[in-house]
Each structure stands twice: as C-alpha cells, then as structure tokens.
Amino acid sequence: MTTGISEVIRGWLGWCPQECTPPRQLLALNGDRVSNAPIQGEGIPKHTGLLQRYRNQVLLLAVSFTFAAIPAIAYFHADDLTRPMMYAGVITGLGLFAFFGKWLWNSFGMLEKGMTIKTGPGAYIISFFIAGIIPRWFILLIAGILLIISFAGVLAFPAFVVGFAFVPWYVLVLIVLWERRTGSTLMFDKKTRSFRAMRHPSASSVPVSQ
C-alpha cells in the first residue's frame, strides 16, 4: 500500500519524501545558471538573495497571516461563542502540524544528504494530504469538530479557521531548529522551484549527530 501511494505521489509531483531519490543538481541561483552549484560544506554563495533562504519566506508568510488575522482574532475573542471555536482551531492546527512536522523533517533529512527536491511549497502540502500520513482517528476527530461547528452559528467556522493562522510560525520554528542542528541553511529558488540545503563553512568540519 505504501509503495502504491509513493508511486502516485512520485507520478504527480516527481518526488516523494519517504522514497530514496538520486541527487539532483541545482539548476540556477538568482536566475544565473551555474555548472558547479555548491555542495554541502562549500557554503552559501555571497550573491544568494535573502528571500532564497526559505526561513525568510516562511517568516514573511507568518507575519502576513498574523497581521491579517489580528482584527478577526480580536473580534472572535470578544464573543463567548466564537472564542472557544477559535481556540479549537488553534489546537487542531497544532495537532495537524504534529504530523506535518514529522513529514517535513523527513524531507530535511533528504536535503541534508545533498539531494535537491524540485517541487513548490503548495505541491508539497498536497503530497502530505494524499499520502495518508494523518491517522484515521484524527480525521474523525476533525470531522466531529466540524459537525459541532455547523450547529454553532454562522461565525463559528470562520473563528475555527482563524486558529490556523499561526501554523506558519510552527513551520518557522521547525526550520530554525533543523538549521541549528545541522549547521545548514534551507534554500528555495522560486525560478527553478528547488529546495536545497547549504552547509555553513564553519559547520563543515563539525560532525552532525544522526
């Protein structure tokens, strides 16, 4: 069953985090084609833009989501009915991230070995949902919560969704923890839609614990 799912994901997206794939060369950085893209231990090119560091992209997304959600958070928090719905969304988002975070960490392990993952963030999230990583009991739990919310009024569902606005912050924390553990920087080139890990020169001589 796992093999079949992996083949479906690989057929749609060209890769699967739980499958071993051969290393791929990064095609371009900052739009300039290179023939000797740096491998782990050679460091990050000086001409690499700040937004190619995926941590910064996630930070911008997290800040944007937070500022956009502030008015809704203030409104829903002031109401006795929508307040618990919003908290339920926050807790559900944390629970969902517990499974997504493990999936994400497995992908970081591929990058740490020098591989390049060619896919966009959106396609990556889709692959997570279709891979069957989320346990059935958690899916039933979310279905039960949504059923209750359907009887709680028109604003109950928007309040529940607002609770997911903090998920990008969880992703950011995970990326920072991984970068500190490995001494690498997670890179994403939007033009080539490629993820890659670049090792800092100061960390190249330090063995990484497995």
pLDDT in tens, 7-64: 545 554 444 554 444 444 433 333 333 334 444 444 444 445 676 788 999 999 999 9
Is it the case that residue 158 has pLDDT exceeding 70?
yes
User: Does 122 reside within a domain?
Assistant: yes
- Print the domain residue range for 149: 51-197
User: Does 28 reside within a domain?
Assistant: no
Closest by CA to 25, choosing from 160, 124, 117, 153, is 117
User: Does 207 reside within a domain?
Assistant: no
Question: Which sign does the torsion angle of CA 184, 110, 115, 196 carry?
Answer: negative
User: Does 178 reside within a domain?
Assistant: yes
SS3 187: strand
pLDDT at 47: 44
Query: Quick one: how far is CA 23 from the chain centroid?
Result: 21
User: Does 25 reside within a domain?
Assistant: no
Residue 189 banded pLDDT, cuts 50, 70, 90: confident
Count how many domains the chain has: 1
Q: 56-60, 70-74, 107-111: which has the minimum mean pLDDT?
A: 107-111
Q: Please give the sequence-ordered ranges of beta strands (E in DSSP) within 108-172, or none if there are none.
A: 117-118
